Structure 1
Amino acid sequence: MEKKMIALGFEGSANKIGVGVVTLDGTILSNPRHTYITPPGQGFLPRETAQHHLQHVLPLVKSALKEAQITSDDIDCLCYTKGPGMGAPLQVSAIVVRVLSLLWKKPIVAVNHCVAHIEMGRIVTGAVDPVVLYVSGGNTQVIAYSEGRYRIFGETIDIAVGNCLDRFARVLTLSNDPSPGYNIEQLAKKGEKFIDLPYVVKGMDVSFSGILSYIEATAEEKLKNNECSPADLCYSLQETLFAMLVEITERAMAHCDSKDVLIVGGVGCNERLQEMMRVMCSERGGRLFATDDRYCIDNGAMIAYTGLLAYAHGSTTPLEESTFTQRFRTDEVHAIWREEQESGDSSGLADVGK
């Protein structure tokens, strides 16, 4: 019986540190993670977040190996998030993967965080060639694959949609446990009154910073005068932001002649966003693919799987190049595994995720 290729992956680009063990067919053997949660009204700073990751990364490695029932000898490659993300937290994974590479004599594969979200979404849902809406605390992009790369059709020109939601959660001093966006979503379900907010779509791009400033000022005035509730504000903010995202996604679908949409990234867990996108897709005769919080929120398995795809096609990262960067665009990555799937010469890999 042929041995399955196995990768160990590290994700630590923001406030979550995750370690995952995955095989090439997408089987997730283990995927533990730990989240740095700050007090209500506060965000997470790079230095404190990095200290959190340092504290938890080695226990997570032990936990991941134990749950997967493997040892270091069974691992074919070590994968880590090169970027994009916050510098200090990214550095933790980069250092750990270098040390383990030298200790265990295993090759390294640097992974783009955004591409990892997409590949994890594809393997988990079975989506083959969808238009991708990538929405998280640090990124907002509409993406589609073409000729070896994931092309960005539209994106935020300032802050990410998740950052907008998180920062408004701070204004309302909502809890950061399990996440500010989740708590906004729950509060929004109780909203009854819709408050008009700026709607900012510029071609294929969106802008959220002006909406945030507007709703912050509105909240201060209207909550003081009891003209609306925090639930009304959360409801209005979600409806406005998500309508903008549905619009640019639909336009990308028309351009690419695609009927399927895959939502990835932390905000992709939001059930209201999924509902709005599902209605749009069904009206176009298409399907929506989405995952739950196990896979849409940052995790080590998505890094392990994407790195293993690259490794299986001969791609590794020399030790001296195993650096990290806060800016690493989705379309900079040569997705060699997709090229081979498209051509049909994939040595069985074309069936991955179907």
Structure 2
Amino acid sequence: MPGRHRKTSPLKNPSKAYLAFGLEGSANKLGAGVVKHDKDGSTTVLSNVRHTYITPPGEGFLPRDTAKHHKEWALKVIQDAVEKASTTIEQLDCICYTKGPGMGAPLQSVALVARTLSLLYDKPLVGVNHCVGHIEMGRLITGAQNPVVLYVSGGNTQVIAYSRQRYRIFGETLDIAVGNCLDRFARVINLSNDPSPGYNIEQEAKKGKRMVQLPYTTKGMDVSLSGILTSVEAYTMDKRFKPDAVAAEVNDEDIITPADLCFSLQETIFAMLVEITERAMAHIGSKEVLVVGGVGCNERLQDMMGIMANERGGQVFATDERFCIDNGIMIAQAGLLSYRMGQETPLSESTCTQRFRTDEVHVAWRL
């Protein structure tokens, strides 16, 4: 959805407008979008097109099959993004793509498409860190100035704050990511993957009536989620678990429903995330929290984070599914910020990095 936003930082060459095309495909979502930086310093989202690879209930998405999906849909998604932006590829200033982190085969398929566009149209190429893309899109849309960032997605869980042209990681998961934890449990209880397993867990959790005991594992600024997943899975083997029971209709305290488990899992994990985020806020003296990533769409997480921020006299910033779920415009935005600071990716270095750390990126566009 098009929209205009104010400039977020000082950039080089402010006397002209810039157009950037972004291509994202680090997991099961293939996204493309066009962003414009206007002469007056504002940013306009011209298009945001996405297609998701959805597997049957109980199944995850494999790298090979996901890469095949991206290759099959790439032309359609790119054409739609360019047409909706009312522009042409010839008018673009740069082609931006996700360099990492993510799944190897999907990343490679998107990088190949980006390289092809770069060569065909003689456009500069800009490799973008997926995590930085989420942060910059969140800052753009919400207007957050210098927040503590909670980045929560299928493959990443990090607490981040900016310092000296780097996004510093204050805490993270020691094993699996929060989104991966939720998705895997959704498969255990056979929830649909449409539109996403995490979304369907959120809806189930709203029906939950009782908490079951799960491990609460924070270690300093880090969290561990694999033990929680093992514990909640164990409840599905308990004789009290009734997979077909509807929580709203159950009064028997000896019965555990799927909704109860979804509710308990969410509450426990989100409490842990709120705790480490608050600790980072206290450390750097910030009163702003920005929640980004696919799990950042979860309204319960936003509510819990908002309660904590309000108690500290602060505020929580979050976006809706257009911007928090993986998309091409976040890659275009972060890539264009890099490009305007003179950063480009030579064709010989247009590779992918599955483990591309957030704090490896030189954030040249921020002071």
TM-score category, normalised to shorter length: over 0.9
Pick the aligned partner of 2:194 from 177, 193, 203.
177
Instruction: Please say if 1:300 is aligned against 2:328.
Output: yes
How far residue 224 of structure 1 moved from its aligned partner, in angstroms, is: 4.9
Instruction: Tell me which amino acid in the other structure corresponds to 1:259.
Output: K
Distance 2:258 2:157 in 1: 25
Distance 2:211 2:242 in 1: 17
Distance 2:43 2:161 in 1: 21
Pick the aligned partner of 2:152 from 135, 149, 158.
135
Q: Please, what is the CA RMSD of the aligned residues?
A: 1.2
Pick the aligned partner of 2:340 from 297, 300, 312.
312
Tell me if structure 1 keeps the 8 A contact 2:152–2:293.
Answer: yes
Q: Counterparts of 1:268-279 in structure 2 under 5 Å?
A: 268-279=296-307
Three-state SS of the structure 2 residue aligned to 1:220 is coil
Counterpart residue number, 1:154 = 171
Distance 1:35 1:112 in 2: 20
Pick the aligned partner of 1:250 from 252, 264, 278.
278
Q: Percent identity?
A: 69
Counterpart residue number, 1:166 = 183
Superposition TM-score, scaled by structure 1 size: 0.94
Three-state SS of the structure 1 residue aligned to 2:366 is helix
Counterpart residue number, 1:36 = 53
Q: Counterparts of 1:160-309 in structure 2 under 5 Å?
A: 160-221=177-238, 222-224=240-242, 227-309=255-337
Q: Per-residue displacement from partner, 1:252-302 (whole Å, max 9, x unpaired)?
A: 000010000000000000000000000000000001000000000000000
How far residue 72 of structure 1 moved from its aligned partner, in angstroms, is: 1.5
Pick the aligned partner of 1:5 from 18, 24, 38.
18
Counterpart residue number, 1:338 = 366
Runs (5+) with no aligned partner, structure 1 = 340-354
Q: Counterparts of 1:17-166 in structure 2 under 5 Å?
A: 17-24=30-37, 25-166=42-183
Three-state SS of the structure 1 residue aligned to 2:32 is strand
Counterpart residue number, 2:354 = 326
Distance 1:52 1:295 in 2: 22
Tell me if structure 1 keeps the 8 A contact 2:242–2:256.
Answer: no
How far residue 3 of structure 1 moved from its aligned partner, in angstroms, is: 4.6
Distance 1:157 1:252 in 2: 17
Q: Per-residue displacement from partner, 1:123-148 (whole Å, max 9, x unpaired)?
A: 00000100000000000000000011
Distance 1:149 1:217 in 2: 41
How far residue 4 of structure 1 moved from its aligned partner, in angstroms, is: 1.6
Distance 2:101 2:17 in 1: 30
Superposition TM-score, scaled by structure 2 size: 0.91
Distance 1:182 1:49 in 2: 20
Instruction: Tell me which amino acid in the other structure corresponds to 2:111.
Output: A
Q: Per-residue displacement from partner, 1:297-332 (whole Å, max 9, x unpaired)?
A: 000000000000000111101011000011000000
Q: Per-residue displacement from partner, 1:24-45 (whole Å, max 9, x unpaired)?
A: 2331100101000000000000
Instruction: Tell me which amino acid in the other structure corresponds to 1:111.
Output: V
Distance 2:255 2:36 in 1: 54
Three-state SS of the structure 1 residue aligned to 2:334 is helix
Structure with the higher fraction of residues in helix conformation:
1
Where has structure 1 moved over 4 Å in runs of 4 or more?
A: none
Tell me if structure 1 keeps the 8 A contact 2:57–2:187.
Answer: yes
Q: Per-residue displacement from partner, 1:174-226 (whole Å, max 9, x unpaired)?
A: 00000000000000001011111100000000000000001101122131596
Distance 1:295 1:92 in 2: 22
Instruction: Tell me which amino acid in the other structure corresponds to 2:236.
Output: A
Q: Per-residue displacement from partner, 1:87-108 (whole Å, max 9, x unpaired)?
A: 0000111101111111100000
Distance 1:60 1:144 in 2: 33
